[in-house]
A and B are shown apart, each in its own frame.
Chain A
Amino acid sequence: MGQVTFKIWRGEGDEGHFEEYQTEVSEGMVVLDAIHAIQSDDASDLAVRWNCKAGKCGSCSAEINGMPKLMCMTRLSSLDLDNPIIIEPMKAFPLMKDLVTDVSWNYEAKKSIKPFKPCKPDAPDGTWRMQQEDVERAQEFRKCIECYLCQNVCHVLRDHHDHAEYIGPAFLVKTAAFEMHPLDEENRTLDLKDEQGIGYCNITKCCTKVCPEHITITDNAIIPLKERVVDEFYDPLKKLFRIFKPK
């Protein structure tokens, strides 16, 4: 495949610029392989976070030619190698160095979700029974690898910096995993409305587009949660029924 030019973001905090590197690439290589080759040959101080190289740890999230992607899952053959390949860090989180961002805000945001609260065991031996078809919906959300690409592409966090008001798509997926679990009996709709700002989502579906696990974030997690919030707070007829419903 020959020599390919990479434009890589170098810098710390607010300061930074693109630097060009050239490296030899071959069939089957992914972007992370090229980054490692550059790190090995030209820029030993290039900071990059990575771990599994199998698309399961969610560490090597970055922006490749402007789109949030996992570097380890992006084959070079899927890119236009005639032009320089632009690699930069995620934009929704503070930059630490080069391609590494500080994603610790996500760990704090996650703590605001009420944990799983199982109902009483329904079997005499103190265990639960559930049907596969009931738990299927929640299983899709368990595929999340917490790469935060969806958080990064979400314009509420990325462009509006509303981190204090909006928890982001990754944690709406987490909440949906609990809310739609057949054994869970916690109510999270008030938190979703007030603390986690689900109303900030304006359904651009960018999170769904970039998810490397192909979770249908908007249609299967966010919109159903929005509808649960509508059920409880924005549907006057339902409110009326609740008032007159016999206890």
Chain B
Amino acid sequence: MLQTPVPLPQPRKFGESNRQDAWWLQPIVVFLGLSAFIVYSTWAAFQGTDYLFTGGGADYLSPFYSPEIFGDSGHAIFGPKPEIWPAWLPFSPALLILWAPGGFRFTCYYYRGAYYKAFWADPSNCSVGEPKARSCYRGENSLPLILQNIHRYFLYIALGFIVLLAWDAWKAMWFEDASGVEHFGIGVGSIVLTINVFLLSGYTFGCHVLRHMVGGKFKTISDKPAHKKAYECVTCLNKRHMLFAWLSLFWVGFTDFYVRMCATGSWTDWRIF
């Protein structure tokens, strides 16, 4: 066991720092960005309607509702809401699935560092004093934060979501005519859903855990060419993990918003061809 050197300087008070830059700006932006997303996605998830746009033969499914396990749209895997569903429990197809991508982001190494600063002030920013009341710090060494180590399991599910959302984006490129025949085409919604898949892939395939699994865990990698290539690719995305984390967060919210606006008739989905 290590020893604590004494006497150590008194820790600074909450928010105390000699930094002369706007150190408070980053945690505030993160706080507002994440809060806005949480509020919007919770609201959207509880709506349970307007998540599918079929106008003009389109087939745009909101990513908040994909895969639709139970529901009223044609996308539902197991049909409508089960009859045994308690009447007092709110139902929405999104509530059945959003725990998975939500958990993936909540346990993500980038987001952890970001929201510990923005929501817990632990610390607010580098070399800035913390709230005095928090006398016993345990970090991620004990409950509840030790559960962050579950991140790899959320990754497995998130990889499956990428496949499903890619399928949705592909389906969004096929438009049904009056006779029921599908034709390939591109609408603004097709582009919105496709960008969503690319950004979510950039975020998911840059995951620190994936980087560890495909190559980081090995002592030598020169004798494993497939792992080496995968490790290099994941590392390349991992360097931009923060960028993809924010872009994909914004875009997945916007994709839902776009589909919702089209479904309610507030926006028109323009067909490019």
Contacts of B238 in A (CB 8 A): 219
Q: Considering the chains assembled together, what is the distance between the CA atoms of A235 and B20 in angstroms?
A: 43
* Contact status A163-B5, CB under 8 Å: yes
Q: Considering the chains assembled together, what is the distance between the CA atoms of A180 and B113 in angstroms?
A: 24
Contacts of A134 in B (CB 8 A): 219-222
Q: Considering the chains assembled together, what is the distance between the CA atoms of A134 and B18 in angstroms?
A: 42
Q: Considering the chains assembled together, what is the distance between the CA atoms of A108 and B2 in angstroms?
A: 8
* Contact status A203-B109, CB under 8 Å: yes
* Contact status A164-B127, CB under 8 Å: no
* Contact status B219-A65, CB under 8 Å: no
Contacts of B86 in A (CB 8 A): none
* Contact status A223-B17, CB under 8 Å: no
Contacts of A235 in B (CB 8 A): 149, 152
Contact with A along B134-159 (1 / 0, CB 8 A): 00011111100110010010000000
CB distance from B216 to the nearest CB of A (A): 5
Q: Considering the chains assembled together, what is the distance between the CA atoms of A94 and B6 in angstroms?
A: 6
Beta-carbon nearest neighbor of A199 in chain B: B141
Interfacial residues of chain A within 82-102, with CB under 8 A of chain B in the complex: 83, 86, 88, 91-95, 102
Q: Is A156 interfacial (CB 8 A cutoff)?
A: yes
* Contact status A153-B139, CB under 8 Å: no
Given contacts A202-B140, A203-B112, A210-B126, contact A94 B7 (CB under 8 A): yes
* Contact status B19-A156, CB under 8 Å: no
Contacts of B256 in A (CB 8 A): none
Contacts of A66 in B (CB 8 A): 17-20, 127
CB distance from B156 to the nearest CB of A (A): 10
* Contact status A223-B208, CB under 8 Å: yes
CB distance from B18 to the nearest CB of A (A): 3
* Contact status A206-B126, CB under 8 Å: yes
Identify which of A35-43, A52-60, A140-148, A225-233 touches chain B: A225-233
CB distance from B225 to the nearest CB of A (A): 11
Q: Is A133 interfacial (CB 8 A cutoff)?
A: yes
* Contact status B219-A93, CB under 8 Å: no
Identify which of B8-16, B64-72, B197-205, B246-254 touches chain A: B8-16
Contacts of A80 in B (CB 8 A): 20
Given contacts A202-B145, A223-B208, A227-B217, contact A158 B20 (CB under 8 A): no
Which secondary structure dominates chain B's binding surface? loop
Contacts of A184 in B (CB 8 A): 219
Q: Considering the chains assembled together, what is the distance between the CA atoms of A220 and B211 in angstroms?
A: 10
Beta-carbon nearest neighbor of A109 in chain B: B2
CB distance from A186 to the nearest CB of B (A): 11
Identify which of B77-85, B90-98, B115-123, B260-268 touches chain A: B115-123
Q: Considering the chains assembled together, what is the distance between the CA atoms of A227 and B210 in angstroms?
A: 10
Among B1, B12, B137: residue with most chain A CB under 10 A = B137
Contacts of A65 in B (CB 8 A): 18-20
Q: Is A169 interfacial (CB 8 A cutoff)?
A: no
CB distance from B267 to the nearest CB of A (A): 39
* Contact status A153-B222, CB under 8 Å: no
Contact residue among A67, A182, A230 (Cβ-Cβ distance under 8 Å from B19): A67
Beta-carbon nearest neighbor of B16 in chain A: A66
Interfacial residues of chain A within 170-202, with CB under 8 A of chain B in the complex: 180-182, 184, 195, 197, 199-202
- How many residues of chain A are within 8 Å of chain B by beta carbon? 66
CB distance from B272 to the nearest CB of A (A): 40
Q: Considering the chains assembled together, what is the distance between the CA atoms of A164 and B212 in angstroms?
A: 29
Q: Is B228 interfacial (CB 8 A cutoff)?
A: yes
* Contact status A199-B4, CB under 8 Å: no
Contact with B along A207-233 (1 / 0, CB 8 A): 001100000001100011011101100
Contact residue among B1, B18, B130, B140 (Cβ-Cβ distance under 8 Å from A86): B18
* Contact status B127-A224, CB under 8 Å: no
Contacts of B126 in A (CB 8 A): 67, 153, 204, 206, 209-210
Q: Is B103 interfacial (CB 8 A cutoff)?
A: no
CB distance from B111 to the nearest CB of A (A): 9
Beta-carbon nearest neighbor of A231 in chain B: B217
* Contact status B11-A228, CB under 8 Å: no
Q: Is A247 interfacial (CB 8 A cutoff)?
A: no
* Contact status A200-B3, CB under 8 Å: no
* Contact status A199-B146, CB under 8 Å: yes
* Contact status A202-B139, CB under 8 Å: yes
Among A109, A133, A155: residue with most chain B CB under 10 A = A155
* Contact status A219-B208, CB under 8 Å: yes
Q: Is A131 interfacial (CB 8 A cutoff)?
A: yes
Can you show 6 pairs from A to B with CB atoms below 8 A apart?
A13-B7, A66-B20, A67-B126, A161-B8, A227-B209, A230-B152
List the 10 closest pairs (A to B, CB-CB), nearest first.
Answer: A199-B141, A66-B18, A66-B19, A206-B126, A200-B139, A131-B222, A203-B113, A227-B212, A105-B5, A160-B137
